[in-house]
Every structure is written in C-alpha cells, then in structure tokens.
Amino acid sequence: MLTGKNYVAGELTADETSVFESVNPKNNEKEAKFYNASEKDVDAAVEKAAEAFPEYSALPASRRAEFLNAIAQEILELGEELIQTYCSESGLPEGRAQGERGRTVNQLKAFADYITTENWKDEYKDEPNPERQPLPKPGLLRTSVAIGPVAVFGASNFPLAFSTAGGDTASALAAGCPVVVKGHPAHPGTGELVASAIVKAAEKTGIPSGVFSNLNSSGIEVGELLVKHPKIKGVGFTGSLRGGRALYDLAAKREEPIPVFAEMGSVNPVIVTETAIEKRGEAIAKQIAGSYTLGAGQFCTNPGIILKMGDNTVFESHLKQFSEEIEAQCMLHSGIKKAFQEGKNQLLDEKGVQVLSGSDDTENNMAAGTIVKVSAENFIQNEKLQTEVFGPFTMIVTCSNFQELNSALEKLHGQLTASIIAEPEDFSSLKASVAILQHKAGRVIYNAMPTGVEVSPAMTHGGPYPASTDSRFTSVGIPAIKRWLRPVSFQDFPEELLP
C-alpha cells in the first residue's frame, strides 16, 4: 500500500503543504498523491546518515552483504504491486519491468558477493626494513575506507536499476556509505515500494535505520539541499547533461568540494563500413532500427549517430523500412516527450539536415522513430549536430572515405560508447579510427549495438565529459564501488590497533 510519504531513517514523514501527483504517461491521468520532502526532512535524513556512518562502515563486510541480499529478497517479495506500479508510472512494458527488476536484484547480490571476497579493499603491504640505510624503511598497509554519506538521484529511464535501490545505491551501501535517495518524481510509487523493501531489510538484518532515506521531490530544491549539505560526501546521478552539470557545479562550490559521479548520456556513434553494408546491409539496418527505438530510445547508450561509409542508399531504405515497421512507444513522461519534439525540431533547422523517416507528433506521449541524414562535411563544421535528442532518434552521417570518417571522429565530444560495424577487410583502414575512439569513449564495441550494458567486472560505463563528470570511474559493474572508497595507509601499525 502506497502512502505517498518520505522515508527518513525508517520513519514515514509527510508535509501536507507541498504535494504532487504521479501520472500515467499513457493517458496523462493522475494516479496518486505524494508529499515533497521538507527542508527538515533533508536535514534529518543526512544527520541520521552521518550518525550511522561510523558504525555502518565499521561493520564486517559480511553484515553489509547480508543487508544487500535481504534488500534483493524484499524487492522480489513486493511481487506484482511493484511491476504494476512501475508500468503505470513509466509507460514501459511489463517485460521491461521484470527484466529491470532482475537486473536490480542481481546487482545487489553481485555487490554483496564482491565485498565478501578477499581483496575488495585493494589492500597492499610494503614490508618494513629496519636495517635500510640511511633511514629505516617503514611498513605500510594500504587499505580503503568509505567516504561517508552519499546522495543518490533516481533516474527517470531506470525506475529500478538506476533509482532507489539501483546501481549507485547498491555500490554505496556495499562500500559502507549510508545513502539518501532523491527519488525521481516520474516514478515516486515505484520508489516508495523499493524504499519500503530497504527499510524492512535493514530491520531484519539489524542495520541502523539512518543508513537509508528516501525523499520525494517534484522540484529541484531537495536535490540542491542534499548536494550542499556539509555531511554529504559524494553524489551519484544518471540523467541529462543539464541536470548533472548543475549538481557538479553546486558540489564544486561547496566549502568542502565533493565528487559528483554524473552519467549524462551521449550520442554513441556507430561506424558502419562500406564492406559491412555490402555483405550484410539489411541485417545491420534491422539491428540499428531495433537499437535506436529500444525502450522508446530512452537509453543513455542509444545509437544517435550512424557514421555510414560509402554511397549505398539501399541501406538507408532498409533502415527507413525497418524503422517504420516499429510501432510508436510511450515515452516516460510528458516532459520527455516535449523535449524530444523540441530537440528534433532544433536539429531539423540545422544546415544540411534532411529527414529520412519520421512521422509527425503522435497522440499523448507516444513517439515513433525518426531518422535524419547529414553529410560528414556538415557534421564536422557544426557542433550542434552532436546534441543528444533523448528518444527514438538517430542521424546518419555520410562519410565518403576513412579520412573523412576520422575527421568526423576527431570532432566528437566525449561518449559512453562508440561502435564499429565492419569486416576483417576493414581492419587495416580502421586502425587509425580505433586510435581516435579510445580517447573519445568509455567503451568501444565491435560488431554489436551499444544498447545493452553488461553488468560485469570489465565493463566501463562512463567516458570523457560530457558523457560523465568523472571518466576515471564506471557507474555499471563491480568497479562502480570504487567511487565511494578512498585509500588510507597505516604505517608501522600493530595488528591489535588496526580498525
């Protein structure tokens, strides 16, 4: 049963003076009432988190693993109510809800497993040498400590896997950091249900309640208060460049600046060579059409630029055909739908941009795929063509040869991913392109679409700005935990005195 309230260290709070409603994007109808967190709630949540921090971070990692596994279990036990709430708040289909729940649960379990492995703190020892001349060599043990309470911002496009108990929360809790979540107002019900699962898991496993709070917010105030709070020591965010940059700027202006890990999406260029098109153009066109419209194009790894080599126009016809066969899908909320249309229209006004495929506005928040086309020459000259249009949109950039391709690649902003669809015959020509791409993207892919981010140890989901605010860390996969840890060295420490 939804209450619409905030969870502040296990307690439900509600301030009747500031409310908002959840909306079903399929019909724009209001569904349930939610209470915005007050300034008092923010302060209480952070203070409780700071109080809980020393105890929580000092627990044996196995206790935190127990907690994470219990959260996974409690999320599963929310059953059908979670799936139905997710679908009605996000407009996403049931299969996606189930898949994302599975991923969320698996992430929690994966971090639980990881912190019970031997060297998750990256410990390293330098042996002492008291005989060394001119000075004795000290013994050093380097280990890791959690940075402190962390603020996590729910992501509109991942109501489960990158929100309340998503990757940022799971990795921070695993590291030993209490978490205060600023829920996304597009799915507050999903957020409250998951928050209730975390609160239950904490009770059942004897974890201090201050370790977790969930704050509703339909505006920007709660998020701002959180990031500015002196006892918050780090921020996790997945969303737009504008939103991520605003948080980064706030954090940088603090008396004590703190790290902000904002993953802000990108246009994820896909190179398709002439040879690949000749050999299997139709199949590639089908893959691209499926990828750029997946989840109504609302993925940060959506392929927004197709660098198409050669002058094969049959490939374009295939792409148009497959794209038009895919039905319009519901976007996450009316704001995203509006931004999608405005973004498209702005790009259509740019020099040399032709529409290849795309319908006019569809009813309510539905969106169908749009493909535009522009020459590499125009692309190279106009940075605005790199603006991300969040939704089912992609732009073919026609390149006549590898030299022109590489000039276009040189101009690219930082990206989460870059893909190469090619054949072995292309390898020698592609060497220079790969050399460029490794400095532009966090993940470089061969013969696959960028959508689909494996949650695994070798994954890098991040990349040079503006893909993320800190390219040295990943937000997906086990190394995401490193964001919430810092090294500390103990010099000549007796075993009995080590924490």
Provide the annotated active-site residues. Answer: 263, 300
Quote the CA–CA distance of 218 and 34 in Å, as a whole number: 9
When the beta carbons of 136 and 219 are compared against its own copies, the nearer one is 136
x/- mask, its own copies, residues 228-267, rule CB under 8 A, reads --------------------xx--xx--xx-x--------
3-state secondary structure at position 497:
helix
From 94, 311, 425, 492, residue interacting with its own copies (rule: CB under 8 A):
492
User: In 179-328, at which residue ranges do the beta strands (DSSP E only) sit?
Assistant: 179-182, 212-215, 234-238, 260-263, 269-272, 305-309
The single residue among 9, 199, 331, 459 that binds its own copies, judged by CB under 8 A, is 459
Indicate which single residue of 184, 466, 475, 481 sits in contact with its own copies (rule: CB under 8 A).
466
- Our CB check for its own copies shows the closer of 30 and 132 to be 132
Query: Segment 165-204, which members bind its own copies (CB under 8 A)?
Result: none
Shortest CA distance to 283 belongs to which of 430, 401, 447? 447
The residues near 360 (Cβ < 8 Å, ≥ 6 apart) are none
Question: Which residues face 143 on adjacent strands?
Answer: 488
Query: 6-36: b or e for each residue (b if 16 or more CB lie within 10 Å)?
Result: bbbbbeebbeeebebebbbbeeeeebbebbb
Closest CA to 235 of 185, 280, 169, 295: 169
CA distance 161 to 176: 20
Identify the residue among 474, 475, 480, 481 touching its own copies (CB under 8 A). 474
384 scored as a contact of its own copies (CB under 8 A): no
Nearest to 445 by CA among 422, 469, 424: 422
Q: Using the rule CB under 8 A, is 138 a contact of its own copies?
A: yes
Q: How far is the CB of 334 from its own copies (least distance, A)?
A: 31
Going by C-beta distance under 8 Å and a sequence separation of 6 or more, which residues neighbour residue 200? 70, 74
**Based on CB atoms, which residue is closest to its own copies, 11 or 51?**
51
Residue in 2, 32, 59, 145 binding its own copies, rule: CB under 8 A: 145
* Closest distance to its own copies from the beta carbon of 353 (Å): 24
> Does 452 contact its own copies by CB under 8 A?
yes
Between residues 176 and 223, which has the closer beta carbon with respect to its own copies?
Answer: 176
Question: What does DSSP say about strands 179-182 and 150-153: parallel, antiparallel, or unpaired?
Answer: parallel
Size of the site for its own copies (CB under 8 A): 73
Residues in 113-132 that interact with its own copies by CB under 8 A: 124-126
Q: Does 403 bind its own copies (CB under 8 A)?
A: no
When asked if residue 465 is in the footprint of its own copies (CB under 8 A), the reply is yes
Please, which residue, 317 or 387, has the CB nearer to its own copies? 387
Interface with its own copies in residues 15-54 (CB under 8 A): 54
Angle, helices 94-114/79-90, rounded to nearest 10 degrees: 120
Q: Give the interface segment with its own copies, choosing from 134-142, 188-196, 291-299, 338-346 (CB under 8 A).
A: 134-142
Residues 337, 442, 451, 480: which binds its own copies (CB under 8 A)? 442
**Whether 209 contacts 39, CB under 8 Å:** no
Binding its own copies (rule: CB under 8 A), the pick from 42, 147, 397, 421 is: 147
Contact present, 396 and 316 (Cβ < 8 Å):
yes
Q: Is 1 in the site for its own copies (CB under 8 A)?
A: no
* Nearest C-alpha neighbor of 305 from the set 437, 154, 499: 437
Q: Which is nearer to its own copies, 255 or 360 (CB)?
A: 255
Token output for 487: 């090294």
Of 7-15, 157-165, 311-319, 487-495: span binding its own copies (CB under 8 A): 487-495
Q: Which of 141, 328, 339, 380 binds its own copies (CB under 8 A)?
A: 141
List the interface residues with its own copies, window 289-308 (CB under 8 A): none
- 493 lies in the site for its own copies, by CB under 8 A: yes
- Residue 448 interacting with its own copies (CB under 8 A): yes
Q: Is 446 in the site for its own copies (CB under 8 A)?
A: yes
Q: How far is the CB of 383 from its own copies (least distance, A)?
A: 11
Q: Binding its own copies by CB under 8 A: which of 17, 79, 80, 498?
A: 498
Q: How far apart are CA 96 and CA 83, in angstroms?
A: 9
By CB under 8 A, the residues from 410 to 429 that bind its own copies are: 414, 420, 424, 427
Per the listing, tokens 């999608």 go with 340
What are the helix (H) ranges across 214-257? 221-228, 241-252
Other CB atoms within 10 Å distance of the CB of residue 468: 29
Question: Which residue's CB is nearer to its own copies, number 218 or number 419?
Answer: 419
Secondary structure (3-state) at 32: strand
DSSP-assigned beta bridge partners for residue 125: 141
Question: Environment class of residue 221 by beta-carbon count within 10 Å: exposed (0-12), middle (13-18) or buried (19+)?
Answer: middle
Piece of the chain touching its own copies by CB under 8 A; list 216-224, 306-314, 347-355, 434-442: 434-442
- Are the C-beta atoms of residues 37 and 211 closer than 8 Å to each other? no
User: What DSSP string runs through 72-130?
Assistant: HHHHHHTHHHHHHHHHHHH---HHHHHHHHHHHHHHHHHHHHHTTSTTTT--EEEPPBT
Under the binding rule (CB under 8 A), the answer on residue 443 touching its own copies is: yes
Closest contact distance (angstroms) between CB of 2 and its own copies is 31
**Quick one: 1 or 498, whose CB is closer to its own copies?**
498
Does 286 sit near its own copies (CB under 8 A)?
no
CB of 24 to its own copies, least distance (A): 28
